[in-house]
A and B are shown apart, each in its own frame.
Chain A
Amino acid sequence: MFDWLFKDEWFPKFDWNWGYTWEIIPRLLEATLNTIIAAGAGYAIALVFGLFLALAQRSKSRALTFIVRELVEFVRSTPLLLQIFFIFYVGPQVGITLSPWVSGMITIGLHYSCYLSEVYRGGIESVPKGQWEAATALNMSTLQTYKRVVIPQAIPPAIPGMGNYLVGIFKDTPMLSVIGVAELIHTANAIGSETWRYLEAYTLVGIIFLALSLPAAGFIRAFESFVRRKLGM
């Protein structure tokens, strides 16, 4: 009775080819590894540099605070894609020639360090003033206070935000394909242009991204409670 609903011409013709699918999987898995390396390296840069940006914004030097805040604002308000192009193509004109890989990871790392600096800042500001005062009363230096008292307490509340940006950086790695980094999208494009079959490659890329992103949220939650437990909080 619903025959009228299932007219063939209403549906696109998917001719999924399993043999071909198995053939391209090894290349895509290799690209997956590249994607994970690019995201991981970029994230590592962002984690470390973001902390410096956050601390610089809290420094007593008005000039430093101003410059860093404006820099963060600038980076956050311009497209990542533009920054990738800029570093890769304009860099050589001023004598900085980097490989696609290196410039890609640096750009994405610096871009995300600006976002992470805000996450850190929120975490640091959530540490009660009394903790700073107790550290002063124990005559700890500013550096000791950050290292021993403030940052350990600033990390747990920052973990959800840090986790969001881990997923974010992972999903932004395809942008590196524009300068020739052989990550997932770049590889899928290459496969497609060789055979004119795009369906299998792009579908697999989607599944791979999903399979890696979905468990991340649960993993981050588990990690947060692990850290809190570890710190006795």
Chain B
Amino acid sequence: MEDMSAYPLEISGDGTPMVSFQKVRKAYGPLVVLDNLDLEVATGEMVSIIGPSGSGKTTVLRMLMTLEQINAGVIYVDGRPLTHMDKAGVLVEATPKHLRARRSDIGMCFQHFNLFPHMTAIQNCMEGPVHVLGLTKAEARDRSEELLELVGMIEKKDQHPSRLSGGQQQRVAIARALAMRPKVMLFDEVTSALDPEVIGEVTNVIRKLVSEHNLTMLMVTHQMGFARDISDRVCFFYDGKIEEQGRPADLFGNPKRERTQQFLSAVKEAV
């Protein structure tokens, strides 16, 4: 069988991709996590990343958020290099200043929410807009209230995270990330740490974002049903490579690669 990852990717948006990984390599010492990764995400596209643990899927998001340095290759966001700087036509490694300037296009939600425990829900949302974007408190408050309304957390806006359930904290975290108006949103296993009965309230918020907003999104998830429902494209990662990718109906309904079939049937058994 041919190597699916070698196929040119079908871009559903308009022209240049929003995110582009080009021959990206990430290794921790001798352990290669991602090898020669090429991945493009179109503007407004929702891409889900699935795969067994240790396959490098979370690393993809962390590199894009600049939480991890890459060892080789280049990542482009919105047509401009993120991990590198263009110096007289030559790409050189990015300085912290460059990373700070370019990272503003990207927002991220984490498995364990990572809300600031010493701030209320609305303070969490206002923190970035006020101190990073330089908005006035009033502007930031309006923006944050709007977003807390969107995620259904406006009634709890003055609560500290310790008084909120996991699902509620994750919804605040989504509002906090959106308050920075990123072009790309990253969701890193945002439902994995949640009790089953509150997963729905978080997935519903993401569903709403997909249907009502033209955000580019990358999501690492273990919820196959959810990925199938809302994604434009699903990538199956195995051993640091994209083993197979395609439309959700194709990948879940008719997986071509043996490892994909094995993974999907193992997941199905577990449910």
Spell out A's residues near B (CB within 8 Å).
128, 130-131, 133-134, 136-141, 144, 148-149, 152-153, 231-233
Contact = CB atoms under 8 A, between A and B. Distances in A.
Contacts of B67: 133, 136-137
Interface string B207-239: 000000000000000000000000000000000
B257 interface: no
Nearest to A138: B128
Contacts of A152: 118
For the complex of A and B, the 6 pairs showing the least CB-CB separation, nearest first, are A232-B160, A134-B114, A138-B128, A231-B118, A130-B114, A137-B108
Query: Which secondary structure dominates where chain A touches chain B?
Result: helix
Interface string B102-122: 011011101010111111100
B83 to A, nearest CB: 14
A138 B176 CA distance: 8
A139 B180 contact: yes
Nearest to A129: B114
A57 B1 CA distance: 54
B243 interface: no
Contacts of A141: 100
A232 B119 contact: yes
Contacts of B176: 138
Interface residues of B, number: 28
A130 B113 CA distance: 8
B132 interface: yes
B95 interface: no
A134 B127 CA distance: 11
B112 A232 contact: no
Given A144-B131, A232-B162, A139 B100 contact: yes
A225 B100 CA distance: 37
A140 B131 contact: yes
A139 B128 contact: yes
Contacts of B114: 128, 130-131, 133-134
Nearest to A233: B117
Contact of B117 (A140, A144, A148, A153): A153
B65 interface: yes
B177 interface: yes
B127 A233 contact: no
Contacts of A128: 114
B162 A136 contact: no
Given A232-B160, A233-B162, A138 B180 contact: yes
Given A139-B103, A139-B104, A130 B65 contact: no
A138 B162 contact: no
Given A137-B65, A137-B107, A139-B100, A149 B116 contact: yes
B66 interface: yes
